[in-house]
């Protein structure tokens, strides 16, 4: 089956238009949105899956696959690679870093979306990385960095998309978070960025700054599937943790599969009076999107 895929001009024009919509009023007399926000203060930015189309391009360190970019789904393609590979196949879980397989981050579509992102975001130009021993990273644009703020603070901005392995899928095309995902050979940052991050933190540990702020584009506190049940085991008492309150109800607003999630403690889940947290896309956050809400009193 052939499927039409976005061409080079579509990627550039459509994504550029959406960025402009964030800066200028969509309708006459409307809000300028991000324009005064960016003009009024300094900002750091990081890109994630939506900036890369939320398709195969979101896995910059995955195999690039065959040609893509055709209104008919047939050759000729605008990009020689970028169609990606089957995320349900185990052999695609880890991309060889020996140059034998082209990486998604070298595909024309990935680089076009990255270009549009850089066109509209307040970024400092840090050039292209030259790391011949790390083909996954070699030749990519450096978007990660660390910025000192005075004596006591350092801000570290990571790039969690350009180098990451494929987002694995089950046979039913759901996210595979089972034993297959527990693979120490997989990477999210790539070898070069990981080594840089570790060294940056070590340097900061042995002297000022005292405070380290690390920005990543992915939540790191997954506790269960959307709509699943939550069972709290040995929750903290008021005497142990102060006036944190107790979980009194769990309201599911997404389809429930009857799964039970067990956690060792509610520390981090219940943080104060009249506070609501949510499990969004399997992650815990303080946002307002629909999912399973945990209420505290």
Residue 220 lies in a domain: no
Q: How much is the pLDDT for 93? A: 97
> Same domain, yes or no, for 241 and 202?
no
- Compute the Cα dihedral for 285, 286, 289, 292 and give only its sign: positive
| Residue at 263 is within a domain | yes
Nearest CA among 104, 94, 90 for reference residue 176: 90
Q: What are phi and psi of 193, to 5 degrees?
A: -65, -40
The answer to whether residue 211 is domain-embedded is yes
Do 236 and 143 fall within a single domain? Answer: no
> Which residue among 215, 248, 275 closes a domain?
215
Q: Which structural domain, as residue segments, surrounds residue 233?
A: 229-296
Residues 201 and 59 in one domain: yes
CA-based Rg of the chain, rounded to a whole angstrom? 22
Clarify whether residues 133 and 160 are in a common domain. yes
H-assigned helices in the chain: 8-21, 34-40, 108-120, 190-205, 238-241
pLDDT at residue 23 in the model: 85
What DSSP string runs through 205-233?
Answer: HTSS--EEEEE-SS---B-S-TT-EEEE-
CB 223 within 8 A of CB 279: yes
Digits of tens for pLDDT over the chain (297 positions)? 688 999 999 999 999 999 988 888 878 888 888 888 888 888 888 889 999 998 899 999 999 999 999 999 999 999 999 999 999 999 999 999 999 999 999 999 999 999 999 999 989 999 999 999 999 999 999 999 999 999 899 999 999 999 999 999 999 999 998 889 889 999 999 999 999 999 999 999 887 898 999 999 887 655 555 555 656 666 656 565 554 444 444 444 444 444 444 444 444 443 333 333 333 333 333 332 222 333 322
Cα 82 to Cα 249: distance, rounded to the nearest angstrom: 46
Question: Which residues, other chains included, contact 163 with Cβ-Cβ below 8 Å and sequence gap of 6+?
Answer: 60, 61, 105, 136, 137, 140, 187, 188, 189, 190, 192, 193
The answer to the question of residue 221 being in a domain is: no
Same structural domain, 118 and 142: yes
Q: What is the pLDDT of residue 33?
A: 81
* Ramachandran area for residue 268 (φ above 0: left; ψ -120 to 50: alpha; else beta): left
Single residue among 215, 247, 277 that ends a domain in this structure = 215
130 and 56 in a common domain? yes
Mutual angle of helices 8-21 and 108-120, in 10-degree steps? 20
Partners of 157 in the β-ladder = 145, 215
Could you give the CA distance from residue 166 to residue 59 in angstroms, rounded to a whole number? 5
Could you report how far apart the first and last alpha carbons of the chain are, in Å?
54
Domain membership of residue 223 (yes or no) is no
Give me the number of domains the chain comprises: 2
pLDDT of residue 88: 97
Last residue of one domain, picked from the residues 181, 215, 249: 215
Residue (of 193, 169, 170) closest to 97 by Cα position: 193
Please report the pLDDT score of residue 265 as a whole number. Answer: 43
Same domain, 59 and 137: yes
117 and 249 fall within a common domain:
no
What is the predicted pLDDT for the residue at 226? 54
């Amino acid at each position: 089956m052939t499927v039409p895929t976005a061409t080079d001009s579509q990627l550039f024009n459509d994504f550029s238009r959406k960025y402009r919509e964030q800066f200028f009023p969509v309708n006459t007399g409307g809000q300028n949105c991000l324009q005064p926000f960016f003009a009024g203060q300094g900002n750091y930015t990081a890109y994630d899956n939506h900036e890369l189309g939320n398709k195969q391009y979101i896995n910059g360190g995955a195999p690039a696959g065959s040609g893509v970019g055709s209104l008919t789904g047939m050759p000729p393609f605008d990009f020689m690679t970028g169609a990606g590979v089957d995320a349900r196949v185990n052999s695609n879980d880890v991309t060889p870093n020996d140059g034998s397989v082209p990486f998604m981050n070298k595909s024309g579509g990935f680089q076009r979306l990255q270009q549009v992102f850089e066109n509209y975001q307040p970024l400092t130009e840090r050039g292209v990385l030259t790391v011949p021993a790390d083909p996954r990273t070699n030749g990519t644009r450096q978007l990660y960095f660390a910025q000192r703020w005075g004596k006591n603070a350092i801000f570290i901005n990571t790039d969690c998309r350009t180098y990451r392995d494929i987002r694995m899928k089950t046979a039913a095309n759901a996210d595979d978070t089972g034993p297959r995902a527990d693979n120490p050979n997989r990477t999210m940052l790539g070898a070069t960025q990981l080594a840089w991050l570790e060294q940056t933190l070590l340097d900061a540990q042995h002297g000022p700054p005292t405070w380290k702020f690390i920005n990543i584009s992915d939540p790191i506190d997954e506790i269960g599937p959307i709509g699943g049940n939550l069972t709290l085991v040995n929750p903290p008492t008021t005497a142990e943790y102060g006036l944190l309150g107790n979980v009194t109800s769990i309201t599911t607003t997404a389809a429930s599969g009857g799964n039970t999630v067990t956690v060792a403690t509610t520390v981090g889940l219940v943080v104060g009076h009249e506070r609501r947290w949510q499990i969004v896309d399997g992650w815990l956050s303080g946002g307002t999107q629909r999912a399973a809400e945990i209420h505290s009193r």
